[in-house]
Chains A and B, each alone.
Chain A
Amino acid sequence: MLGSKMTTLRAFTCDDLFKFNNINLDPLTETYGIPFYLQYLAHWPEYFIVAEAPGGELMGYIMGKAEGSVAREEWHGHVTALSVAPEFRRLGLAAKLMELLEEISERKGGFFVDLFVRVSNQVAVNMYKQLGYSVYRTVIEYYSASNGEPDEDAYDMRKALSRDTEKKSIIPLPHPVRPEDIE
């Protein structure tokens, strides 16, 4: 089933911000302030990829970055946002976008790719597991809630890249951590 996304994949540009409502009106997709997008576009433009359908609609996008110390073998690719419009789900598009981000991270010599996901977002957690990611640690109350509901924990999920031959980067931590303890 993977790969049946029939799409044009290209770099995300500022003009796409005016067209991504069908993706971002989803309750789990955050619309960030302009500085946030511009920061990624200025610093890691290659990590911000959008998928466009033959009809011109935006199908989904991935936004990420490279960070961490090379010396401490923590240089890695990070997935900041990944979202697919409802109409274009169940096509393996998210998997394809993840694959691209992993490939870029490989080229940059990263040791692993990581991401944060809501503990409750079982659909996403399962998808990442299928793509080879495992829970590295739990971050307590990582997502702050706005409407009086309790803050939510996040899984920090990782997948080792080829540079980490012994897969040291993904050995799970025994205890959960607090948001202030993560870099």
Chain B
Amino acid sequence: MAIQQADKLLKKHKDLHCAKVLKAIGLQRTGKQDEAFALAQEVATLEPTDDNSLQALTILYREMHRPELVTKLYEAAVRKVPSSEEYHSHLFMAYARVGEYKKMQQAGMTLYKIVPKNPYYFWSVMSLVMQAISAQDKKLSQTMFLPLAERMVEKMVKEEKIEAEAEVQLYYMILERLGKYVEALEVVRGQLGEKLTSELQSRENKCMSLYKQLERWPECNALSCKLLLKNPDDWQFYMSYFDSLFHLIDQGWEPPSEGEHCSEGEVRSSVAQAIAFVEERLAVEEAKETRPLRGPFLARLELIRRLRARGCPEEQELGEPLELMFQYFIKFGDKPCCISDLKIYLDLLTTDHHFINRLMETVPLSEPQDDGVALPGDTRALQRHLCVAQLSRALGLHHALDTTGKLDLIRQLKSHYRHGLQFGKSCLKTELQFSDMYCLLASHVYIDLWAETGDETMLWQCLGLLEEGLSHSSSNAQFKLLLILLFCRMGAFEPVVDLYSSLDAKHVQHDTIGFLLTRYAESLGQFAAASQSCNFSLRFFHSNQKDTSEYIIQAYKYGAFEKIPEFIAFRSRLNRSLHFAQVRTERMLLDLFLEADLSSSLEDNVKSMGLCPEEDDIPWTDMRDNRDLTVLTSWDPADRQLSEEQRSFSLQEELLWLKVRFLTLRLVGTLAVLSHPPTPRNAEKAAENGVVAKPDILRPLLDQLNTTLQNGAQFLERGVQYPFLGPSPTRLAHALASGSCHCQVLAFQLAAYVQELDAAALGESRPRMTLCLSELPLLEILNKCKGDLLEVKEGQCKTQPTLLENLVFFVETVCVVHWVSCFCAGVLRPLKASLQKRKKKKKEPISATMVVFSGFQEFTAGLQSLFSEVLDHIKGQETSLTALKLGELTLEEEEAFVKLAMDKLRSSYLRSLQELGDLLKKRADVLKSLKI
């Protein structure tokens, strides 16, 4: 429609530029990129200067992801209309979009000369700062760009032309980056600093940070105290006060005999003064009629910890930690945050049991009920009791219980959970139940029991309990997250789809928790869902580049200079995201598994996804792990929480596995590239003429894959374990154990051999192939898939999700073998023909090459029987799963919910089996007709 309108206009006015561009936009949006581009260039080469054409072209180029063309456009426009403020300003923004900092600097100054407005001048200054930030040579930043920027600002200061807060902010940024903290301090504390008003406490915060940089501990000390007197609850200033205190003590600082302690006023530099300061704050709180602030009470514990770490006996003056934490609980135990406040200081306790017992005595509970559990009478009592339970767990008391003790604990927690539901009867669907966290605690104990005993019943009970919890509290994200984790670990991905979608995770959350979805979808054989999950994430990452650029420009416009490097770092953090590289790779592999050499040829697939096997475009050395690995709530003791070391191991493992997958993808891509273009070539002639064979890229990639697999095996030898609620292990261990990696490597080796055979053009001197296709160890993988996924034994439900994962590895490997054999067939076909021709001419002994040919026939025949075997296995599993009577189990009270979970699991297994079976059937059909 838009295109027609534009055409109509163009009939009347043949040279109306703007109409042409609008038509081009129409073409672009209807997928005719090439036509659109040609039409746009037609206009662009005329170097238009009318605003409409320029703006329309800007929009078009942005949509084409060609922002660099916008700069050309406005460069031409300002050449023709050199006095236009507007076009110069557009040119500056066009440079900003592509990060041409040097040109931005010049464009800003040109603008300022045309129209002497401050913002233009400071755009230019900021562009110098950006040159400094982006410079590879940090010395150049410090000796050239930043000093130049500094001088430019100084000039304005001297001429008293500074107008806006943003300008002072930028000055501060420059001085800070130059390490000129003294000068920065003068600016902040001086007249210019008075402009820093938008942000609250902007001057104080900047001063504090500068005092720390300058190690001016007296000022840091005095300012912290001043701010604490104003707001005794601001935690960061307790930290800076205590930091400064111990620095001053270590330095042996003495106050001057007369006059002010320092420019910020009174310094409290002795332990006695610090203790007095904290106690004064406490006294104020204690005297209050209203509820006291938490800050001073926690500050006391913090001070004790710091004194204890230094071996200062004065810590005792502040009191006994157990007693103080007890009092804290009395005051704040009915707040849900009490646990997160106190858990930081639990290491100060020496007798855990005593502490918990004392707390418990203060919680008002009813007389024990029939089941021996005493219950709270209102939500405050409930919250207090819950806090004690959470603290017990954090102290490791739950873990210390034996199996009977744990089961009894679960019974009590469940009793509290169900009893507490009565308080939340009027809660809206969007609210949590008061007692939800009991349910989560009980689930954690179930998981402990399962981990200790391997008794799978515990996991079933846990699933049932969480399903029950979700039925009462449908927006509890923690229930959903844990259910997702449990279902995945038990091999069922189907229920995860709905659970995850009900979390309504969007945008940046795809990067932070998308791994919950993408880690298991494919490995559990739900390829369709896996594709979709990858797509969610990819859509987010792809929009990032364009999105962030626009806001970098906005930040210039609004003078939010400090945000510009922040936005650029943010963009880079997303571009370098581990998850991004993973979903990109897996998405391509999935496409190939599902389509390549089935609905379309491998070559077409590889071509359409724009995969270039020679190229490694993953930023391996600077990958960002944006996963939120603590998204699942955990009250485990500190030594069982996810450690920094485990985090880094997890990233290492993810990178190793990603490398395996990426190399596999590139190897498959290479097969496509090597057999393309499929022109029938005369191998003999090529050899005679000494034509160089296609460059061998298979071998180097194969070597890399082998090295990576070795590194992977070495990594696994370390036996790294992660907390259950932390990151899941990758597929690496199972992949190696299943034999699929080994088999795929052999297949690629074969491809490389055949390719070399082709290159040598039937050279009989080639070494005999040491392996035939028919010897690929596919059967070994298949044997590791045999067994029952789900069975009921002695009334207990047992799952073997590893069998499913191995089946997926089998299917993936079959795909690789399929492509390798197509590749081999493609190479061998012309070779065989020419060999037969030659044989007719003169009699030759049966060559090594013939062995390859006969081996190929054996191989395809062997594959067919393998296919029928695996399809029989799948059929058998489907039949027995369907026939399995899950209802007859002797389940106790939570029967209905556990049954629900079991049904979900079975349904999911069936779906996985069906997807895998369908794919195998398709591959079997195509392979049947493969001949050389």
Interface residues of A (CB under 8 A from B): 1-11, 13-15, 17-19, 21-22, 24-28, 31-35, 38-39, 41-43, 45-46, 49, 53-55, 57, 86-91, 100, 103-104, 107-108, 120, 123
Residues of B within 8 A of A42 (CB): 551, 554-555, 557-558, 560, 563, 567
Chain B residues 816-867 with CB under 8 Å of chain A are none
Contact B344 A54 (CB under 8 A): yes
Residues of B within 8 A of A8 (CB): 234-236
Contact A1 B560 (CB under 8 A): no
Q: In the complex, A30→B505 CA distance in Å?
A: 9
Contact B295 A18 (CB under 8 A): no
- Distance in angstroms from B931 CB to nearest chain A CB is 53
Interface residues of B (CB under 8 A from A): 197-200, 205, 233-236, 290-295, 298, 332, 335-337, 340-341, 343-344, 428-432, 475, 477, 503-509, 511-513, 543-544, 547-548, 550-551, 554-555, 557-558, 560, 562-563, 566-567, 569-570, 573, 626, 628, 631
Q: Which one of A10, A11, A35, A89 has the highest number of Cβ atoms from chain B below 10 Å of its Cβ?
A: A35
Residues of B within 8 A of A26 (CB): 430, 475, 477
Residues of A within 8 A of B562 (CB): 45
Contact B504 A27 (CB under 8 A): yes
- Per a CB cutoff under 8 Å, which of A17, A41, A100, A120 touches B551? A41
Contact B344 A100 (CB under 8 A): no
- Distance in angstroms from B179 CB to nearest chain A CB is 22
Contact A25 B477 (CB under 8 A): yes
- Per a CB cutoff under 8 Å, which of A1, A4, A87 touches B233? A4
Q: In the complex, A113→B356 CA distance in Å?
A: 46
Contact B506 A31 (CB under 8 A): yes
- Per a CB cutoff under 8 Å, which of B295, B337, B505 touches A31? B505
Q: In the complex, A160→B233 CA distance in Å?
A: 28
Contact A21 B631 (CB under 8 A): yes
- Distance in angstroms from A16 CB to nearest chain B CB is 10
Residue of B nearest to A45 (CB): B560
Main DSSP-derived SS at the A contact region? mixed
Q: Would you list 28 pairs from A and B whose C-beta atoms are within 8 A, ordered by A residue?
A: A1-B290, A7-B235, A8-B236, A10-B236, A14-B569, A14-B573, A18-B626, A24-B509, A25-B477, A28-B430, A31-B505, A31-B507, A31-B508, A32-B507, A38-B547, A38-B551, A38-B554, A41-B551, A42-B558, A42-B563, A43-B554, A43-B558, A54-B235, A54-B298, A87-B340, A88-B337, A90-B335, A104-B200
Residue of B nearest to A37 (CB): B508
Contact A87 B336 (CB under 8 A): yes
Contact B298 A46 (CB under 8 A): no
Residues of A within 8 A of B566 (CB): 13-14, 41
- Distance in angstroms from B469 CB to nearest chain A CB is 14
Residue of B nearest to A88 (CB): B337
Contact A34 B544 (CB under 8 A): yes
- Distance in angstroms from A26 CB to nearest chain B CB is 7
Q: In the complex, A55→B301 CA distance in Å?
A: 14
Contact A103 B551 (CB under 8 A): no
Residue of B nearest to A32 (CB): B507
Q: In the complex, A24→B720 CA distance in Å?
A: 32
Residues of B within 8 A of A17 (CB): 508, 570
Q: In the complex, A33→B432 CA distance in Å?
A: 26
- Per a CB cutoff under 8 Å, which of A2, A28, A35 touches B550? A35
Contact B508 A34 (CB under 8 A): yes
- Distance in angstroms from B259 CB to nearest chain A CB is 33
Residues of B within 8 A of A27 (CB): 429-430, 475, 504
Contacts A6-B341, A54-B235 known; 7 new A-B pairs at CB < 8 A = A15-B570, A18-B512, A34-B544, A34-B548, A41-B566, A43-B558, A90-B336
Residue of A nearest to B625 (CB): A18
- Distance in angstroms from A17 CB to nearest chain B CB is 5
- Distance in angstroms from B604 CB to nearest chain A CB is 34
- Per a CB cutoff under 8 Å, which of A21, A33, A54, A90 touches B341? A54
Q: In the complex, A99→B349 CA distance in Å?
A: 37
Contact A43 B197 (CB under 8 A): no
Contact B235 A6 (CB under 8 A): yes
Assuming the A-B contacts A4-B294, A7-B234, A91-B335, are A55 and B340 also in contact, with contact meaning beta carbons closer than 8 angstroms in the complex?
yes
- Distance in angstroms from B387 CB to nearest chain A CB is 11
Assuming the A-B contacts A13-B566, A33-B507, A46-B200, are A6 and B548 also in contact, with contact meaning beta carbons closer than 8 angstroms in the complex?
no
Residues of A within 8 A of B547 (CB): 33-35, 38
Q: 5 nearest interchain CB pairs?
A: A38-B551, A25-B477, A14-B570, A6-B294, A42-B554
Contact A21 B509 (CB under 8 A): yes
Q: In the complex, A21→B198 CA distance in Å?
A: 28
Residues of B within 8 A of A19 (CB): 628
Residues of A within 8 A of B429 (CB): 27
Contact B507 A4 (CB under 8 A): no
Residues of B within 8 A of A103 (CB): 200
Contact B293 A4 (CB under 8 A): yes
- Distance in angstroms from B378 CB to nearest chain A CB is 14
Contact B337 A38 (CB under 8 A): no
Residues of B within 8 A of A100 (CB): 200
Residues of B within 8 A of A31 (CB): 504-509
Q: In the complex, A104→B200 CA distance in Å?
A: 7
Contact B199 A55 (CB under 8 A): no
Q: In the complex, A103→B197 CA distance in Å?
A: 11
Q: In the complex, A160→B376 CA distance in Å?
A: 43
Contact B233 A14 (CB under 8 A): no
Residues of A within 8 A of B504 (CB): 27, 31
Q: In the complex, A32→B505 CA distance in Å?
A: 10
- Distance in angstroms from A60 CB to nearest chain B CB is 11
Residues of B within 8 A of A123 (CB): 431
Residues of B within 8 A of A107 (CB): 197-198
Residue of B nearest to A2 (CB): B290
- Distance in angstroms from A44 CB to nearest chain B CB is 8
Residues of A within 8 A of B550 (CB): 35, 38
- Per a CB cutoff under 8 Å, which of A21, A41, A87 touches B512? A21
Residues of A within 8 A of B294 (CB): 4-6
Residue of A nearest to B345 (CB): A54
Contact B337 A53 (CB under 8 A): yes
Q: In the complex, A7→B432 CA distance in Å?
A: 24
Residues of B within 8 A of A46 (CB): 198-200
Contact A53 B340 (CB under 8 A): yes
Contact B337 A41 (CB under 8 A): no
Assuming the A-B contacts A54-B344, A55-B340, are A9 and B567 also in contact, with contact meaning beta carbons closer than 8 angstroms in the complex?
no
Contact A41 B513 (CB under 8 A): no
Q: In the complex, A11→B201 CA distance in Å?
A: 11
Q: In the complex, A24→B509 CA distance in Å?
A: 9
Contact A7 B233 (CB under 8 A): yes
Q: Which one of A5, A9, A14, A55 has the highest number of Cβ atoms from chain B below 10 Å of its Cβ?
A: A14
Residues of B within 8 A of A86 (CB): 336, 432
Residues of A within 8 A of B233 (CB): 3-7
Q: In the complex, A21→B631 CA distance in Å?
A: 7
Q: In the complex, A87→B339 CA distance in Å?
A: 9
- Distance in angstroms from A166 CB to nearest chain B CB is 26
- Distance in angstroms from B330 CB to nearest chain A CB is 15
Q: In the complex, A7→B295 CA distance in Å?
A: 8
- Distance in angstroms from A90 CB to nearest chain B CB is 6
Contact B234 A9 (CB under 8 A): yes
- Distance in angstroms from A154 CB to nearest chain B CB is 16
Contact B511 A18 (CB under 8 A): yes
Assuming the A-B contacts A6-B295, A14-B570, A19-B628, are A45 and B199 also in contact, with contact meaning beta carbons closer than 8 angstroms in the complex?
yes
Q: In the complex, A24→B429 CA distance in Å?
A: 16
Contact B551 A35 (CB under 8 A): yes
Residues of A within 8 A of B557 (CB): 42
Contact B343 A55 (CB under 8 A): yes
- Distance in angstroms from B930 CB to nearest chain A CB is 47
Q: In the complex, A104→B298 CA distance in Å?
A: 29
Contact B337 A87 (CB under 8 A): yes
Assuming the A-B contacts A18-B628, A26-B477, A38-B547, are A45 and B563 also in contact, with contact meaning beta carbons closer than 8 angstroms in the complex?
yes
Q: In the complex, A38→B298 CA distance in Å?
A: 35
Contact B560 A3 (CB under 8 A): no
- Distance in angstroms from B733 CB to nearest chain A CB is 28
Residues of A within 8 A of B290 (CB): 1-2
